[in-house]
């Protein structure tokens, strides 16, 4: 059985192994299915900066909040940004105070609101990795085609490979293998990860999201580590192609430009973000709408920045499950459904324990995978 093969391979490695999942959806799947409780003692899973809401810096939130306070303005956002705390407020608090902030489920929904309200400025918060950037590109192209002149995007899009390079270069974070994000990889393909093997000799596997996908991916990584033959493996063959989605990549290249970008808790990573290209600058909220933004302040004592880098776990934070919980989040890792803190909180991770409770998936995984 696969679980026994994982245990046998881990024994042969004869050292502690740290594997990092670089995807918030993987983090949730790992906790929900109880995978950590089944792994050998010398195999540790670390959550990386795979939650786009979590890595969005405070100064972006502060600008969004300031924009929402402008007259004749409607701010549109996906729901997971509403509760993220800025320096002194949040979008949820501003909405409660009467600001016109609307949750949308598609970038084209925001464009429709712009068409229905020609006397107002409609600003969409473009937050996400390579997975969501093409959808924003489509909305910008449609706005131009339909000559919608009151639609703007405030881009905070981030690119995953530069963040992986930052982590690989980190002197105080030892990662033996990466579980690369499945959704992002459907867009960018496998080739952008090749530098991790070529320059750092770190094995990588692109994984699907079912418990068996993740177990197989862990087994693949452990085998590469045991054999000392790092590769880029594609476990998620049913969705990810080597060259990715060429149409989506073409849209991103047309509408965006790579730029240095600030990541919460990490700092500025060169060429790790997407800004709106000069050819579409009339739709860029950053350059087209002037607003006074308050001085950035991070919550004192919050460890989200270190959790995002995999250097700390939520259990190390003095606020976790005390002052900080989903109803009263101090940092973004407790807000987002893909955040490590919410995953620990929701699935009952207990300090000093490798087990997580509260999920029928764990029991199913044990039945399917145990010898």
Residue ranges and CATH numbers for the domains of the chain are: 2-51+169-181+192-234 (3.40.50.11750), 53-159+245-288 (3.40.50.11740)
Q: Is residue 366 pLDDT above 80, yes or no?
A: no
Q: What is the mean pLDDT of the chain?
A: 92
**265 in Cβ contact with 333 (< 8 Å):** no
pLDDT band for position 358 (50/70/90)?
very low
Quick one: which of 184, 152, 191 has its CA closest to 252? 184
Give the list of residues 6+ apart from residue 111 with CB closer than 8 angstroms, or none: 122, 124, 139, 142, 143, 146, 148, 151
Distance between CA atoms of 30 and 42, rounded to whole angstroms? 17
Give the per-residue pLDDT at 357.
38
Q: What is the mean pLDDT of residues 71-84?
A: 96
Least confident residue range of 93-107, 130-144, 198-212, 334-348: 334-348
**87 in Cβ contact with 296 (< 8 Å):** yes
pLDDT band for position 293 (50/70/90)?
very high
Q: What is the mean pLDDT of residues 10-39?
A: 93
| 3 state DSSP class of 295 | coil
**252 in Cβ contact with 140 (< 8 Å):** no
Instruction: Quote the Cα angle for 319-324-329, to 5°.
Output: 140
Least confident residue range of 19-23, 155-159, 182-186, 361-365: 361-365
Give the per-residue pLDDT at 206.
98
Q: How many CA atoms lie within 13 A of 234 on its CB side?
A: 19
CA distances from 33 to 163, 178, 284 (A): 27, 19, 41
Give the per-residue pLDDT at 362.
40
DSSP character string of 69-86: TSTTEEEEE-GGGTT---
Give the per-residue pLDDT at 304.
93
For 16-47, b/e burial (b = at least 16 CB within 10 A) is ebebbbbbbbbbbbbbbbbbbebbbeebebbb
pLDDT band for position 298 (50/70/90)?
confident
Give the per-residue pLDDT at 354.
39
**37 in Cβ contact with 362 (< 8 Å):** yes
- Helices (DSSP H) in 49-207: which residue ranges? 52-55, 58-68, 91-96, 107-116, 133-145, 160-169, 182-188, 194-200
Q: Please give the helix or strand (H or E) that residue 154 lies within, else none.
A: strand 151-155
Neighbours of 229 (CB within 10 A): 11
- Reported as a single tens digit per residue, the pLDDT across 202-245 is 999 999 999 999 999 999 999 999 999 999 999 999 999 999 99
- CA-based radius of gyration for the chain: 21
pLDDT band for position 349 (50/70/90)?
low
Distance between CA atoms of 289 and 132, rounded to whole angstroms? 23
Which pTM was predicted?
Answer: 0.90
End-to-end Cα, the chain, rounded Å? 6
Give the per-residue pLDDT at 2.
87
Site of tokens 């950053």: 286
CA distances from 319 to 21, 58, 80, 86 (A): 24, 19, 21, 17
């Amino acid at each position: 059985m696969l679980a026994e093969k994982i245990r046998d391979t881990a024994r042969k490695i004869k050292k502690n192994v740290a594997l990092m999942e670089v995807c918030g959806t993987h983090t949730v799947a790992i906790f929900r299915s109880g995978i950590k409780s089944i792994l050998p003692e010398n195999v540790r899973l670390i959550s990386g900066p795979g939650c786009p809401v979590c890595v969005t810096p405070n100064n972006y939130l502060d600008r969004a909040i300031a924009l929402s306070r402008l007259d004749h303005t409607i701010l549109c956002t996906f729901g997971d940004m509403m509760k993220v705390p800025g320096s002194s407020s949040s979008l949820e608090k501003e909405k409660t105070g009467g600001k016109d902030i609307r949750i949308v489920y598609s970038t084209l929904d925001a464009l429709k609101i712009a068409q229905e309200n020609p006397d107002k400025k409609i600003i969409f918060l473009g937050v996400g990795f390579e997975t969501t950037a093409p959808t924003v590109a489509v909305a910008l192209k449609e706005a131009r085609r339909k000559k919608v002149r009151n639609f703007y995007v405030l881009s905070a899009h981030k690119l995953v490979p530069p963040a992986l390079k930052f982590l690989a270069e980190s002197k105080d974070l030892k990662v033996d293998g990466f579980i690369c994000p499945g959704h992002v990889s459907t867009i960018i393909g496998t080739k952008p990860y090749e530098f991790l093997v070529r320059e750092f000799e770190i094995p990588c596997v692109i994984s699907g999201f079912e418990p068996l996908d993740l177990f197989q991916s862990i087994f693949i990584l452990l085998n590469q580590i045991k054999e000392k033959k790092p590769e880029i493996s594609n476990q998620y063959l049913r969705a990810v192609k080597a060259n990715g989605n060429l149409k989506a990549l073409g849209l991103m290249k047309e509408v965006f430009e790579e730029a240095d970008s600030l990541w919460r808790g990490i700092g500025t990573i060169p060429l790790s973000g997407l800004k709106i290209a000069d050819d579409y600058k009339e739709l860029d909220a950053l350059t087209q709408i002037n607003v006074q933004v308050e001085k950035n302040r991070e919550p004192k004592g919050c460890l989200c920045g270190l959790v995002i880098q995999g250097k700390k776990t939520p259990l190390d934070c003095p606020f976790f499950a005390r002052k900080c919980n989903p109803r009263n989040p101090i940092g973004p890792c407790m807000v987002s459904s893909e955040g490590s803190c919410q995953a620990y909180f929701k699935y009952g991770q207990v300090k000093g324990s490798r087990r997580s409770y509260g999920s029928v998936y764990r029991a199913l995984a044990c039945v399917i995978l145990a010898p």
